[in-house]
Amino acid sequence: MLFVKAPAKINLTLDVLHKRPDGYHEVEMIMTTVDLADRIGLERRDDGSIRISAADRFIPEDRRNLAYQAAELVKHTYGIAEGVTIRIEKNIPVAAGLAGGSSDAAATLKGLNKLWKLGRSIDELAELGAKIGSDVPFCVYGGTALATGRGEKIRHLPAPPNCWVILAKPKIGVSTADVYGNLKLDKLSHPPTEQMMEAIETKDYRLLCNSMGNVLETVTMDLYPEVRVLKEQMQRFGADSVLMSGSGPTVFGLVEHESRVHRIYNALRGFCEEVYAVRMLGERETLD
Ligand SMILES: C[C@@](CO)(OP(=O)(O)O)[C@H](O)COP(=O)(O)OP(=O)(O)OC[C@H]1O[C@@H](n2ccc(N)nc2=O)[C@H](O)[C@@H]1O
Ligand SMILES: Nc1ncnc2c1ncn2[C@@H]1O[C@H](COP(=O)(O)OP(=O)(O)O)[C@@H](O)[C@H]1O
């Protein structure tokens, strides 16, 4: 069995520029991977079929699974007759704004490149990933990046300044399409994307905290008021800066000093079942 790590991402910024004729939104967002990860196991099959084993009641084991779609795409694109069993050990909360499904798909692309000795470049795998979902190319690279287009155009950035990330997910799942669908394009408060890039490049933690912003945040908070409450609680407990990730509902808080991490973590555990204290992974990985 070949194992590949599939880390979650958070959005340090998420801006929407306009709605495109194809129905997608033109975005500008800065994303970074964190060390909360699913583990994907891949095993050859002689019968040519794709099988998913997920042992998680929230994710599908058929064609709807993004890892299945990744395997199907690789088989079709490169004419592979062999099959694969994909075992998904799920640690990333589902439908949470953390790109769990997209990261599983990205890990499957990278894993199959190895398992089937395809010799494809990471850029080619990222391009293939765009056919599965807007977040998949970023997940193929990982690290830190500015994503534009519908999210699939990636410009790599250096590692952000060191800090802790506390993730808290309310007990609801959010549909990304619903959130984009409820966005009022004439009422957006745009985050300072350029300033965030400067904060990352100069490793200025304070500037980074002051540059976070996500135009989808108020949309999700209006649909699910508990997300707003959770953000306020995390701010009150002393996180340096708090934001919702992606389309939500996960809220993350940055904390510079380790001594404060446990206090905030424990305080949140009082009324939120899913809380994680993690680190940013920083720079992107390369294929080995
Ligand atoms: C909001 C973000 C931010 O990172 O992530 P999540 O909250 O899902 O983690 C992404 O833009 C989500 O990317 P992803 O989840 O891959 O989206 P896709 O499968 O491509 O699209 C799902 C649906 O979201 C809407 N969509 C997505 C991307 C985009 N730029 N404009 C859109 O309008 C479309 O309605 C589309 O049908
Ligand atoms: N491997 C997978 N892991 C999680 N969800 C998946 C997967 N494949 C398909 N899905 C479906 O994709 C939807 C969005 O899941 P996910 O990627 O976790 O969230 P988000 O897009 O908010 O980051 C879920 O409702 C789930 O049914």
ipTM of the complex: 0.97
Q: Which residues are catalytic?
A: 9, 135
Residue pair 223/182 in contact (Cβ under 8 Å)? The answer is: yes
Q: Give pTM, 2 decimals.
A: 0.97
Residues 141 and 194 in one domain: no
86, 94, 135, 179: residue to mutate for ligand 2 pocket, most atoms within 8 A of CB? 94
Residues 132 and 37 in one domain: yes
In-domain check, residue 269: yes
As averages over each run of 10 residues, the pLDDT of the chain (288 residues) reads 98 97 97 98 97 91 97 98 98 96 98 98 98 98 98 98 97 94 94 98 98 98 97 97 98 96 95 94 78
The residues facing 38 across adjacent strands are: 6
Tell me, rounded to whole angstroms, the distance of Cα 244 from its chain centroid. 12
Residues 26 and 143 in one domain: yes
Q: Which of 157, 185, 204 is the last residue of a domain?
A: 157
The pLDDT value given to residue 288 = 62
Residues 35 and 168 in one domain: no
Q: Is 177 in the pocket of ligand 1 (CB under 6 A)?
A: yes
Residues 100 and 190 in one domain: no
Residues 20 and 104 in one domain: yes
Q: Rounded to a whole number, what is the largest CA-CA distance in the chain? A: 56
Closest by CA position to 52, among listed 73, 67, 74, 70:
67
Distance 41 CA to ligand 1 centre (A): 26
In-domain check, residue 288: no
In-domain check, residue 88: yes
Structural domains in the chain (count): 2
- What distances in angstroms separate CA 206 from CA 143, 193, 261, one per listed residue? 20, 15, 17
Give the CATH number for residue 110: 3.30.230.10
The pLDDT value given to residue 187 = 87
Residues 69 and 120 in one domain: yes
Distance 127 CA to ligand 1 centre (A): 16
Q: Which residues constitute the domain of residue 210?
A: 164-279
Q: Can you tell me which atom of ligand 2 is nearest the CA of 69?
A: 8
User: Which ligand sits nearest to residue 133's alpha carbon?
Assistant: 1
Please give the single-letter amino acid code of residue 212.
M
Q: Is 193 in the pocket of ligand 1 (CB under 6 A)?
A: no
Distance 210 CA to ligand 1 centre (A): 25
Q: Which of 119, 139, 157 is the last residue of a domain?
A: 157
Residues 153 and 170 in one domain: no
Residue pair 21/75 in contact (Cβ under 8 Å)? The answer is: no
Q: Which of 115, 130, 157 is the last residue of a domain?
A: 157
Strand, coil or helix: 187 = helix
- Rounded Cα distance, 56 and 210, in Å: 37
Question: Is omega for the bond preceding 60 within 30 degrees of 0, making it cis?
Answer: no
